[in-house]
Amino acid sequence: MHERVQGVPVTRSFALEDYEQKQFSYRNENFLDKALKHTSWNAKTFAVTNTITDLAPLLVIAYAGYQVIHGNLTLGTMVAFVGYMERVYSPLRRLINSSTTLVQSIASIDRVFELLNEKYDVVDKKDAKQLMDVEGYVDIENVSFRYDEEELEVLNNVTLHVKAGETIAFVGMSGGGKSTLISLIPRFYDVTKGAIKVDGNNVQHVNARSLRNNIGMVLQDNTLFSESIAMNIRMGKPDATDEEVVAAAKAANAHEFIESLPYGYDTFVGERGVKLSGGQKQRIAIARVFLKNPPILIFDEATSALDLESEHTIQEALEKLASERTTFIVAHRLATITHADRIVLIENGEIVEVGSHEELMRKQGGYYNLYQVQHLDDGTI
């Protein structure tokens, strides 16, 4: 239901109302069948239990009364027995009536404990140290990675040494391993082989939170929370002052559009930022990183889903943000990364070419071919 409600625009645009109604009826039929069986079982157990517990005392009283009349049983014993019997029947009746609820609870408990017992993919070592005063040197040394032991390697023996303040752009076809590689830097996953080092420190030997505290990320689809714009910007630094928030918004070219909103920085953005355009959401995300002010930046397709005007505005903010910081950029639109110090072409999990835009164009290899495919020479994409 949640998925289909979110996808209402798709349903309407393809005129799928009748089809979706049939799909809902089909999928809901199983739930309805189980609900009816559950209700029927409850009704039967309730009827049987109450019939027995209501008739049994009458039979006992009748028989005990007969014994009292014939002197085989005292009246006090009879009264005591009937009283004890009621004490037994009441909890028994409640237990039987709640049996189906107990079965459902056991199933729910199994799912809860399955989640609680799930092991973390990334766990800090006991002697992990805090990463402080990061300059921004990043060394990727013979890194190989696979998501699952049974799957093929996504990255194969990748080596790259990045100086502090250098801008590195990763390009290549989809599925080549670009996003996977930059996900290993903040240690969202641990490498299968090799090592990633920040300022000479193996990221697997440092506290993950201290590592991520020195990294700012701007993604293609940034999550905004259903809070005010100011609160979303403060995600980069929760204790920031109002002046710092405004300064970050100005640096991200977001201040003007925020001021034009009815409540300015106090405007609520709605669930996942639904009240803002794609470009506006990206600028809020960039302002968040400006406020955090980290020494290492990661941009993963930060402008690929935007129109050219929004892309230009955001590109200016990104270049301002990347100034004098170690920056990693993943991009399919090559026009946005020609300024990078080095461009790294990744294919099938391996580094194929490395160099500046001018060097790779003169080489006329894989990067040159990608550039020609996008017709960037004549300004079209």
pLDDT in tens, 38-76: 888 878 877 887 787 778 778 888 888 888 888 888 888
Three-class DSSP category at 157: strand
pLDDT above 70 covers a percentage of the chain that reads 94
Higher pLDDT, 204 or 377: 204
As a residue count, the chain comes to 381
Determine contact, residues 333/301, Cβ cutoff 8 Å.
no
Note the helical H segments in 132-241: 178-184, 208-212, 229-233
Q: What is the pLDDT of residue 197?
A: 92
Backbone angles phi, psi at 40, to 5 degrees: -65, -45
Closest CA to 217 of 171, 186, 250, 248: 186
Give the Cα separation of 367 and 172 in Å (integer): 8
Q: State the DSSP code for 243.
A: H
The dihedral formed by the CA atoms of 201, 206, 209 and 213, expressed in degrees to the nearest 10:
-20
Mean pLDDT of 82-106: 76
Mean pLDDT of 276-299: 85
pLDDT of 111 > 70? The answer is: yes
Determine contact, residues 99/38, Cβ cutoff 8 Å.
no
Q: What is the pLDDT of residue 161?
A: 92
pLDDT of 86 > 80? The answer is: no
pLDDT of 380 > 50? The answer is: no
Reported as a pLDDT band with limits 50, 70 and 90, residue 9 is: confident
Mean pLDDT of 206-230: 86
Determine contact, residues 317/283, Cβ cutoff 8 Å.
yes
Closest CA to 296 of 136, 63, 68: 136
pTM of the model: 0.72
Determine contact, residues 171/346, Cβ cutoff 8 Å.
yes
Phi-psi region of 154 (alpha: psi -120 to 50; beta: other; left: phi over 0): alpha
Q: What is the pLDDT of residue 139?
A: 92
pLDDT of 239 > 80? The answer is: yes
When mean pLDDT is compared across 106-120, 159-173, 239-253, 302-316, the lowest value belongs to 302-316
Q: Which residues pair with 138 in a beta bridge?
A: 162, 198
